[in-house]
Amino acid sequence: MKGMKRRNAVWTGLLVGVLAGGLGGCGGRETTEPVPEYVFTYAENQAEDYPTTLGAYRFAELVKERTGGRIEILVKANGELGDEQAVVEQLQYGGIDFVRASLSSLSEFVPEVNVLQMPYLYKNSEHMWKVLDGEIGEEFMEIFEGSGLTGLSWYDAGARNFYCTKKPIRKLEDVAKMRIRVQESEMMGAMVEALGGTAVPMTYDKVYSALETGEIDGAENNWPSYESVRHYEVAPFYTVDEHTRVPEMQLISQHTWEKLSPEDQAVIRECARESAIFQRKLWIQRSEASQKRVRKAGCTVVELSEEEKQRFRQAMVPVYKTYCADYMDVIERIEAAGEE
Ligand code: GCU
């Protein structure tokens, strides 16, 4: 498939050359646009104006610039290439070259990464970035080796909160019997069940209509997603409990990675990291704008009290036992980073 795409690109390039030559003879301008050696696809499930998509465009631009146009990356937003897990599988086969994905989706392929998205793990955003930008972040970037994926950079996705269609969650008992959509991640399902709710795993694109039809009573996500895909229209009760911070990653297919020279690999990595710095700035701006927008639209925003937060946190003990028993040393290192 990809070979064909590349041949097509070369063929189109030849055609452009011939046409430009022809036009040149008629007094037209010669094209200086080089023919790319590689044309890669990049999957993104958010909208065109979303911070992660804008980060992807910046990444593609930087790579094109620094390889003199030899590497072209075509960003496909809006989930055009499929839902996250299907896309990640495609990366493993080499059918898609890049993805920006939530760690929750990735945890089904590389379960060790659950450690980085455990409920109530980070005190705040600074704590999480200290971990991801430091030694632990580097170690987890390398953990993808052998999975068919190569990690490139960390993107921000803020903190996730619960939201419901009929009434807000103010205390632990309010979660009881609620059907709450979770990402297709076993650990996230266990988290909702430990709070007393019923977890309903579902892909991102299906959530709006499931909220609308009453198939589920609620879901959970960060401010920009809640606003961008308009879940606030059908689930207007948002409870700020910040139960998880689920970082996101840019990854490249191992197949694609191995085709590249060490020099090109270095450029790709450097551009991914630069685009991440850009994305994190956009993230902060969009989070504020999204919050304002949904409040203005009349949503009820509830801050979970410290006392209740403590009860939610306490309920997570069995989840840590199931998903992190072998990684308690890493959990301790993460916690220690928050104390420094
Ligand atoms: C966030 C994340 C997406 C993910 C979604 C979800 O919006 O950015 O990549 O798919 O959460 O809840 O599924």
Residue range 123-154, pLDDT digits in tens: 999 999 999 999 999 999 999 999 999 999 99
- CA-to-CA distance for 98 and 88, rounded, in angstroms? 9
Which of the listed residues 46, 188, 211, 287 should we mutate to test ligand 1's pocket, taking the one with most ligand atoms within 8 A of CB? 46
Cα-to-chain-centroid distance, residue 29: 42
Which residue's alpha carbon is at the smallest distance from atom 5 of ligand 1? 204
How close is the Cα of 155 to the center of ligand 1, in Å?
Answer: 12
Nearest to 151 by CA among 209, 106, 105, 213: 106
How close is the Cα of 102 to the center of ligand 1, in Å?
Answer: 6
pLDDT of residue 1: 35
Please say if the pLDDT value at position 303 is more than 60: yes
- CA-to-CA distance for 249 and 145, rounded, in angstroms? 14
Neighbour count for residue 294 (Cβ, 10 Å): 22
Contact 304, 96 (CB under 8 A): no
- CA-to-CA distance for 217 and 177, rounded, in angstroms? 9
How close is the Cα of 51 to the center of ligand 1, in Å?
Answer: 12
- CA-to-CA distance for 286 and 284, rounded, in angstroms? 6
Element (H, E) at 147: none
Q: What is the pLDDT of residues 87-116, one digit of tens each?
A: 999 999 999 999 999 999 999 999 999 999
Q: What is the pLDDT of residues 71-84, one digit of tens each?
A: 999 999 999 999 99
**Whose structure tokens read 């979303």?**
50
Nearest to 179 by CA among 230, 235, 108: 235
Q: What is the pLDDT of residues 10-53, one digit of tens each?
A: 333 433 333 343 343 344 455 667 799 999 999 999 999 999 99
- CA-to-CA distance for 325 and 318, rounded, in angstroms? 10
Neighbour count for residue 211 (Cβ, 10 Å): 23
pLDDT of residue 83: 97
Cα-to-chain-centroid distance, residue 194: 25
- Using the atom order of ligand 1, give the atom closest to the CA of residue 157: 8
pLDDT of residue 340: 84
pLDDT of residue 146: 96
157 lines ligand 1 (CB under 6 A): yes
328: left (phi over 0), alpha (psi -120 to 50) or beta: alpha
102 lines ligand 1 (CB under 6 A): yes
pLDDT of residue 26: 40
pLDDT of residue 197: 98
Could you tell me what percent of the chain has a pLDDT over 70? 91
Q: What's the mean pLDDT when you consider all of the chain?
A: 92
Could you tell me what percent of the chain has a pLDDT over 90? 89
**Predicted structure pTM score:** 0.91
Cα radius of gyration (the chain): 22
pLDDT of residue 34: 78
List residues bridging with 244 in a β-sheet: 160
Q: What is the pLDDT of residues 185-206, one digit of tens each?
A: 999 999 999 999 999 999 999 9
Q: What 3-state class would DSSP assign to 43?
A: strand
Please, what is the Cα angle at 154 between 62 and 112, to 5 degrees?
A: 140
pLDDT of residue 10: 38
204 lines ligand 1 (CB under 6 A): yes
Q: What is the pLDDT of residues 269-293, one digit of tens each?
A: 999 999 999 999 999 999 999 999 9
Which residue's alpha carbon is at the smallest distance from atom 7 of ligand 1? 225
84 lines ligand 1 (CB under 6 A): yes
Which residue's alpha carbon is at the smallest distance from atom 6 of ligand 1? 204
